[in-house]
Amino acid sequence: MLRSPRRGRMALFAAGVGAIALLLAAVFWRTGAAPWLQAATATKGATAQPTAVPSTPAAAVATPDISAGTTPSPGPTRVNPNTTQLVDDGKVIFRYDTFGDEAFWGGALKLNQAILGSSQGGTGQGVSPKTALDVGLKVDMDALPASLVQQLKANQVNLDDPATTVSLLKLNSVVGVRGLFDGQGNLVSMGITCALCHATVDDALSPGIGHRRDGWANRDLNVGKIISLSPDLTPVAQLLGTDVATVQQVLAAWGPGKFDAALAVDGKGFTPDGKTAATLIPPAFGMAGQNLHTYTGWGSVPYWNAFVAVLEMHGSGRFFDPRLNNPDKYPVAVNSGEWNTNNQPDLISSKLPALQAYQLSLPAPTPAAGSFDAAAATRGEALFTGKAKCSSCHTLPLTSEPGWPIHTGAEIGIDEFQASRSPENGYRTGLLKGLWTHTKGGFYHDGRFATLNDVVNHYNAVFGLDLTSEEMNDLVEYLKSQ
Ligand code: HEC
Ligand code: HEC
């Protein structure tokens, strides 16, 4: 009988497998066990300690453990040198890098001359440390020599003299402001860094002077007032296609803790009801795990960092977003060509990875024990995820939805003005970690709710939650505990 060729091959294959099996069996016989079998036995031996076995079968049933065993140790690669380097570099960039923006703040706006004042060869009265602290600027005491710290403590420093401000700038101690000095030590220009708006100090020495707190929103900072110190606002007026008087009006309306990032692309200074269109400065901590950033979800951290560094700080670099090439919505960005900026040299793009890594590394600070009622906060959490339905948007522990956390104003019971200025036409679900660090200026993008109680009252009314006043209080204590 003829065997089919196919069967023949199968038979050969079977014979081959058999031979390999025999060979393996011989090896096992010689060594006692295959290496992988030995490893498995060792692991089993290690975990099969009497203490590791649940004492009763009932306990085993009550806590089914599908994660099966201990988490593998990350081993020596736990802190990857690249990660450390990125975060360290990002910290320096965040605190000190101007991206070449001194060409704008010093060169065009001549704010260095306003700081100096006419007595030091600049213009106007000059900016004394007292004035600087009054407009919300902060001083990093760790950058000061010990002798100066002692003198400050003893009230022996003249805080009314603009020359002192220049000395503080020379020490690189004014948070978020860089002075540029010539060979003779003259202040010839100045620039700003991310830390200007997104860092404060802990007031350890005196109000406004202390150790840096990176990522904290500076709600004391009156950016509008600082910019309007400029002896020449024509560059801003030209950029926005308006006159200096209008620019002054817009800047005066911002007030402490606010800045208007969208102004540079849409030119809208005021809401339809005549209020400032500026938004509160948010924290830059607690960003890890969040997809969309800004109150209205413009984009990711590196997206927004490029936007801010190029369009707001006026650093030198590349920014591209074709969504802004829309003359109806973003007339300023289209006229100026800023939606597709390519300034040389590019001092920004190469820094985005480290800058992002640093921001993602900043945790939201935890509130001091005793700053909230812990029992009420525990009850509040149950309400947050239950009856009050907060977590349907503020997904814990992120506090915003994983995915696309964008909502219309109507969904949260507010107007659409600020949402309509963003390419996504929505509001990004608010981030609720570290709320206690930025109670000044209020809540929601424009601070329309002065307190957390007001926020909860608003939700209670809009969503018809039927919360008792005790329940609302519990929710507020929970928010304070975050
Ligand atoms: C002049 C003040 C100012 C400066 C300087 C500034 N920012 Fe901001 N930043 C703001 C304001 C205001 C917003 C809110 C914008 C909005 O949503 O309308 C914001 C938003 C953000 C957000 C979004 C936070 C969130 O909740 O999603 C991040 C992140 C951020 N900035 C990082 C930076 C970095 C990094 C730099 C430096 C490259 C920088 N900012 C420079 C004022 C500033
Ligand atoms: C439909 C989705 C949604 C629900 C439900 C919701 N929120 Fe919000 N929440 C938002 C959005 C969007 C914002 C941003 C609003 C803004 O910035 O103007 C926000 C902002 C906030 C803020 C302000 C954060 C800040 O930094 O100013 C707080 C506090 C807050 N929500 C708490 C709650 C609580 C408490 C509940 C439950 C009672 C709740 N939210 C329910 C979407 C929601």
Instruction: Report all structural domains of the chain as residue ranges with CATH numbers, in order of start.
Output: 92-221 (no CATH), 374-480 (1.10.760.10)
Rounded to whole angstroms, the Cα distance separating 202 from 155 reads 19
User: Phi and psi (nearest 5°) for 27?
Assistant: -60, -45
Residue with CA closest to ligand 1 atom 15: 294
Interhelix angle 374-385/469-480, nearest 10 degrees: 100
262's tokens: 């969208």
Q: Which ligand is nearest to the CA of 290?
A: 1
Residue with CA closest to ligand 2 atom 43: 393
DSSP calls for 334-369: HHHTTTEEE-SS--SGGGHHHHHHHHHH-PPPPPPT
> What local confidence, expressed as pLDDT, does residue 55 receive?
40
> What local confidence, expressed as pLDDT, does residue 168 receive?
98
> What local confidence, expressed as pLDDT, does residue 74 receive?
62
Ligand 1 atom having least distance to the Cα of 313: 5
Pocket of ligand 1 (CB under 6 A): 192, 194, 196-198, 223, 259, 261, 279, 281-282, 284, 287, 293-296, 301, 304-305, 308-309, 313, 355, 359, 431
CB 332 within 8 A of CB 266: yes
CB 372 within 8 A of CB 410: no
Q: 409: closest CA among 441, 448, 435?
A: 448
Pocket of ligand 2 (CB under 6 A): 295, 388-390, 392-394, 407, 411-412, 427, 429-430, 432, 443-445, 452, 455-456, 459, 475, 479
Q: Where are the beta strands (DSSP E) in 46-185?
A: 139-140, 177-181
Pocket test for ligand 2, best of 258, 427, 444, 448 (most atoms within 8 A of CB): 444
> What local confidence, expressed as pLDDT, does residue 436 receive?
98
> What local confidence, expressed as pLDDT, does residue 67 receive?
63
User: 261 by DSSP, 3-state: which?
Assistant: coil
Opening angle at CA 237, ends 308 and 318, nearest 5: 30
Amino acid at 75: G
Q: 307: closest CA among 332, 334, 339?
A: 339
275's tokens: 């209020």
Amino acid at 431: L
Beta strand pairing status for 406-407 and 427-428?
antiparallel
CB 207 within 8 A of CB 227: no
Distance of CA 428 from the midpoint of ligand 2 (Å): 9
Its sign, for the CA torsion 70, 72, 76, 82, is negative
Residue with CA closest to ligand 2 atom 22: 430
Count Cβ atoms within 10 A of the Cβ of residue 429 and give its class: 0-12 exposed, 13-18 middle, 19 or more buried: buried
Residue with CA closest to ligand 1 atom 24: 294
**Please, which residues have CB within 8 angstroms of residue 433's CB and are 6 or more apart in sequence?**
285, 286, 364, 399, 482
Distance of CA 281 from the midpoint of ligand 1 (Å): 7
User: Phi and psi (nearest 5°) for 324?
Assistant: -90, -5
Torsion of CA 466, 470, 476, 480, to 10 degrees: -160
How many CB atoms lie under 10 A from the CB of residue 450? 12
Distance of CA 62 from the midpoint of ligand 1 (Å): 48
Q: 210: closest CA among 144, 274, 267, 165?
A: 144
Residue 215 has, within 13 A of its CA and on its CB side, a CA count of: 22
Rounded to whole angstroms, the Cα distance separating 268 from 251 reads 12
Alpha-carbon radius of gyration of the chain: 30
> What local confidence, expressed as pLDDT, does residue 196 receive?
98
SS3 content of the chain, % helix, strand, coil (to 5): 45, 10, 45
Distance of CA 30 from the midpoint of ligand 1 (Å): 68
Instruction: Say how many Å lie between the first and final Cα of the chain, rounded.
Output: 83
| pLDDT per residue as tens, the chain (482 positions) | 344 444 444 444 444 444 444 443 443 333 333 333 333 333 333 333 333 333 434 444 455 556 666 766 666 656 688 889 999 999 999 999 999 999 999 999 999 999 999 999 999 999 999 999 999 999 999 999 999 999 999 999 999 999 999 999 999 999 999 999 999 999 999 999 999 999 999 999 999 999 999 999 999 999 999 999 999 999 999 999 999 999 999 999 999 999 999 999 999 999 999 999 999 999 999 999 999 999 999 999 999 999 999 999 999 999 999 999 999 999 999 999 999 999 999 999 999 999 999 999 999 999 999 999 999 999 999 999 999 999 999 999 999 999 999 999 999 999 999 999 999 999 999 999 999 999 999 999 999 999 999 999 999 999 999 999 999 999 999 999 99
Pocket test for ligand 1, best of 87, 99, 279, 281 (most atoms within 8 A of CB): 281
Residue with CA closest to ligand 1 atom 21: 294
Rounded to whole angstroms, the Cα distance separating 443 from 329 reads 26
How many CB atoms lie under 10 A from the CB of residue 278? 27
Chain length of the chain: 482
175's tokens: 């948070």
CB 475 within 8 A of CB 372: no
* Phi and psi based region of residue 402 (left: phi greater than 0; alpha: psi -120 to 50; beta: remaining): beta
Rounded to whole angstroms, the Cα distance separating 232 from 229 reads 9
Ligand 1 atom having least distance to the Cα of 355: 35
Pocket test for ligand 2, best of 287, 389, 415, 429 (most atoms within 8 A of CB): 429
